[in-house]
Structure 1
Amino acid sequence: MSSETVPTQLPRATYASMVTERLRDSIVNGSLAPGSQLSEAELATRFGVSRGPVREALQRLIQEGLVRAEPHRGVFVPVLTEDDVRDIYLARAALESAAVQHIITSSRSEAAADDLDAMVKLMAEAEAADDWEAVGRHDLDFHSALVAATGSERLQRMFSTVISETRLCLGVLTSADARSDLVDEHRQIAAMIRKRQTDKALAVLKQHFDDAVVTIKSREPDPEEDAG
């Protein structure tokens, strides 16, 4: 056998995953602002890869709803309208309400509540540390765990799209938008699931989404101010 070291060639899929992850982070944290146009050539140069992995990464992000392709114009980070925000939360309400009902009517409620309580604990710790970014992250983890507790692959697949779009919504928020009742709302949802109280769980979930829409809407720029 030869003692020479053969260079390891990273597969194209690895580059595509890397670019996808970095672009996703930049979009969610606001480094790539809503309305930004994404150029394959510029991104390839930025990441030191060919345009193939960049093109694949953009396609993945289009499927996630984090970027949009506009015919004859290019690919852009979407600017969410009030209707977009309401539609995202309408979809989430439908999916998560179905998840709550399925969990409570199955044998999964106790285990699901344990997982959700663990997420609430992390949220409370982050809130106490005034770490709003972590609170938001654990908030989304809570809802992902809720849907995952159903054991339904299709429900999780549908949910993965709207939770990505939710990250776009939350990207406009700051620590000043933190609600004092946020952690308690999640704690109540977990408690109602543990007690198998479907109606109460759904009511708290609805209020949680209604509050979120109001908070996000409050961060939208005033058209009159923009007009000068």
Structure 2
Amino acid sequence: MTSFIEPLAQESTPSIIADKLRKAIGHGELKPGSQLGEAELARKLGVSRGPLREGMQRLTQEGLLISIRNRGLFVIDMTPDDIRDMYLAREAIERAAARKLFLDGNHEAAGAALLAIVDRMAAAEGDPAAVGELDIAFHELLVRTAGSPRLSRMHQTSIVETRMCIHALEETYAASDLRAGEHAQLAEAIRTGDADRTDELLRAHMDDAIQRLVNR
């Protein structure tokens, strides 16, 4: 397993540290509910405590870490209500990104690029971790092609939380073998410029993810 908590190879800044910690949380290296030991993290990252505290504060503001008085900083624990709320936010962001893509972007090129990811998902069948990462890559690309830095920033936190859910509940999430097909339909709707169908599929896709992650 790749470790994201390792010495930084470049000048340490709070943003670089925050990105390292964000990836460690998303990929399960820092598990939901676990406490962050400041001294140990500073040692592993090879940084001083000042920039580390600033980086951790950024993740606290994003909602990925929670400060408990007299106890310290902890990685959030995704409850069923948290999962539902996170997918509500993701749905709003991705539907907005799709609308902007149809208005201002090149939906044909975006659809073709998304279909290429779907092909990789189909080829990775039987490898839940690989399919999960490609699933996330699909949605990151969808938002990125909208060309909205603000939507991309908001999407980043929800994607970390999505990774947390997938890693914590990988067997449940991977139980469905329909993900490549669902994404293929969505990519094709985008490629052909069918805005109504795209919106319908995005809503259904988020509802399906909640069912698999919460109602297990």
Shorter-chain TM range is 0.7 to 0.9
How do residues 147-226 of structure 1 correspond to structure 2 at under 5 angstroms? Answer: 147-175=143-171, 177-178=173-174, 179-218=176-215
Name the SS of the counterpart of 2:73 in structure 1: strand
Higher relative contact order, structure no. (Cα contacts within 8 Å, ≥ 6 residues apart): 2
Query: How many pairs were matched up?
Result: 207
The residue aligned with 2:137 is: 141
In structure 1, what is the Cα distance between the partners aligned to 2:15 and 2:196? 44
Tell me if structure 1 keeps the 8 A contact 2:166–2:173: no
Tell me if structure 1 keeps the 8 A contact 2:124–2:130: yes
The residue aligned with 1:53 is: 51
Compute the RMSD of aligned alpha carbons.
2.3
The residue aligned with 1:223 is: none
The residue aligned with 2:115 is: 117
In structure 2, what is the Cα distance between the partners aligned to 1:35 and 1:90? 22
Tell me if structure 1 keeps the 8 A contact 2:101–2:107: yes
In structure 2, what is the Cα distance between the partners aligned to 1:132 and 1:158? 26
Give, in angstroms, the shift of residue 160 of structure 1.
Answer: 1.6
Q: Given the superposition, is the C-alpha separation of residues 218 and 72 from structure 1 closer, same or farther in structure 2, using an over 3 Å criterion?
A: same
In structure 2, what is the Cα distance between the partners aligned to 1:113 and 1:193? 5
How does the TM-score come out when normalised to structure 2?
Answer: 0.85
Q: Given the superposition, is the C-alpha separation of residues 138 and 63 from structure 1 closer, same or farther in structure 2, using an over 3 Å criterion?
A: farther
In structure 1, what is the Cα distance between the partners aligned to 2:153 and 2:32? 25
Q: Given the superposition, is the C-alpha separation of residues 30 and 10 from structure 1 closer, same or farther in structure 2, using an over 3 Å criterion?
A: closer
1:132 aligns with 2:128: yes
Give, in angstroms, the shift of residue 166 of structure 1.
Answer: 1.6
The residue aligned with 1:3 is: none
Unaligned ranges ≥5, structure 1 = 1-8, 220-228
Name the SS of the counterpart of 1:171 in structure 2: helix
Tell me if structure 2 keeps the 8 A contact 1:96–1:147: yes
**1:200 is aligned with what amino acid?**
R
Larger radius of gyration: 1
In structure 2, what is the Cα distance between the partners aligned to 1:88 and 1:32? 19
Identity %: 45
**2:67 is aligned with what amino acid?**
A
How does the TM-score come out when normalised to structure 1?
Answer: 0.81
In structure 1, what is the Cα distance between the partners aligned to 2:22 and 2:105? 36
Of 80, 88, 91, 2:89 maps to 91
In structure 2, what is the Cα distance between the partners aligned to 1:124 and 1:63? 37
The residue aligned with 1:73 is: 71
Name the SS of the counterpart of 1:37 in structure 2: coil
Deviations 1:56-114 (A, max 9, x none): 33123334433222344311011111111111100111111111122223441111111
Deviations 1:36-60 (A, max 9, x none): 1112122223344321232133123
Q: Given the superposition, is the C-alpha separation of residues 81 and 63 from structure 1 closer, same or farther in structure 2, using an over 3 Å criterion?
A: same
